[in-house]
Amino acid sequence: MKYAIRSYGCQMNFAEAEEIRQYLQSVGAKETDNYQLADWLFVLTCTVRQHAEDRAWGFLKSLRSWKQEKNNRCLVVGGCLVSQSAHLIKSRLPYIDILVPASENIVWADRLKKILLNSSPICPPPLKSTHQSVIISYGCSNFCSYCIVPFVRGPERCRPAGEILSQIQKLLQSGVKKITLLGQNVNSYFDNSLDFADLLKKIDNLSGDFTFTFLTSHPRDMNEKIISTLAGLKKWSGELHLPLQSGSDRILKLMNRGYTYQQYCSIVRAIRRQRPDICLSTDLIVGFPGETEEDFCQTKKAISELNFQHFYAFKYSPRPPARSASLTDDVPDKIKEERLAEVLQSQRPGQQ
Ligand code: SF4
């Protein structure tokens, strides 16, 4: 049996793709890069931007003939598009066999065992890579005004710390050398009285020769306890992805990000004071409703001041029902394109 996986968007989807891969390999299935040769196809969709949603719809529509070519093919679609538009997908693309909304806490091995591989035993999965991701929380309760994630992935739900630690220990025992903790906002992690800083310390104290990092941090929740904890970690790789989004306080407020540019800078300064070796990356959005030339200049200034190792920049697109979709999308697309190109050109050589 051959399977293929197409994963779009964020690290959560890529982590889920890895779970699917490990389970299917453990029961003897073979992966192919060419989905035309596959019996099962898994598509993990993203709707965080209009462009991503259009690509997902385009690809799913193109699969009608793939499904019809062979009787026993199985098409499984997961991710945010399913949470957002399950009814529409069912009515427009009835040839999809299984829809898995991203708002569910998915354990793919359990799901696949139940639905597709009822009788197959699970053996320890052969690991492809010594770098593995561990999901620590699902969903998000922040409601940044441009973001659809809280609507499609639901409110934040944190996994119990004991479960996370035991998953990490198993991965380490099987030869993994690097762990990435995943959540939409890892800094707000909470399990009873244990917070993100406590979780980091517990992971750091696990025995073994490994490093770890975490994605994604929110500046609003990067509190003093986390900052001082980072300074003492021995196994943290020093990679820090801390989305700024805009250098303009006016735009940050409209985005409901909950910090000012200066507060962001203070966090970075405090962390760099204790760990000068951090590899700082960020996300930026250009063309948010009402973004003036002056606002955009503040974003460019932030890029030059903060010395990011790399950053990801995107053009704004309204994602209803996220709140900013009710604002007039008044920055012309041509200007958004120009601003995006300008920002991307300002990446230093070696940045990506
Ligand atoms: S923190 Fe904001 S941008 Fe990130 S997932 Fe949550 S709502 Fe979206």
Mean pLDDT, all residues of the chain: 90
Four-point Cα dihedral 201, 206, 211, 213, nearest 10: -40
| Domains of the chain and any CATH numbers | 2-115 (3.40.50.12160), 135-345 (3.80.30.20)
Q: Residue 37 half-sphere exposure, CB side, CA atoms within 13 Å? A: 7
Side chain identity, residue 264 = Y
Which ligand 1 atom is nearest residue 147's CA? 8
Cα(46)–Cα(16) distance, integer angstroms? 13
- As a whole number, mean pLDDT of residues 94-113 equals 78
Which ligand 1 atom is nearest residue 216's CA? 4
Cα(268)–Cα(252) distance, integer angstroms? 17
User: If you take atom 2 of ligand 1, which residue's CA is the nearest one?
Assistant: 144
- Of the candidate ranges 5-19, 155-169, 221-235, the one whose mean pLDDT is the lowest: 5-19
The token pair at 350 is 């070696």
Cα(276)–Cα(282) distance, integer angstroms? 17
The per-residue pLDDT for 180 is 95
pLDDT surpasses 80 at 110: no
Confidence band for 349, pLDDT divided at 50, 70 and 90: low
Which ligand 1 atom is nearest residue 153's CA? 5
Which ligand 1 atom is nearest residue 257's CA? 2
pLDDT surpasses 70 at 351: no
Centre of ligand 1 from the C-alpha of residue 276, in Å: 27
Instruction: Enumerate residues lining ligand 1, CB below 6 A.
Output: 140, 142-144, 147, 149-150, 184-185, 218
The per-residue pLDDT for 306 is 95
Contacts of residue 68, defined as CB under 8 A and 6 or more positions apart, other chains included, come to: 95
**Beta-carbon count within 10 A of 193 CB:** 6
The per-residue pLDDT for 120 is 39
ipTM above 0.95, yes or no: yes
pLDDT surpasses 60 at 123: no
Centre of ligand 1 from the C-alpha of residue 69, in Å: 40
The per-residue pLDDT for 213 is 96
pLDDT tens, residue by residue, 244-278: 999 999 999 999 999 999 999 999 999 999 999 89
pLDDT surpasses 50 at 124: no
Centre of ligand 1 from the C-alpha of residue 102, in Å: 15
Do 31 and 84 contact (CB within 8 A), yes or no? Answer: no
Cα(336)–Cα(291) distance, integer angstroms? 10
User: If you take atom 4 of ligand 1, which residue's CA is the nearest one?
Assistant: 184
The per-residue pLDDT for 104 is 67
- As a whole number, mean pLDDT of residues 163-177 equals 94
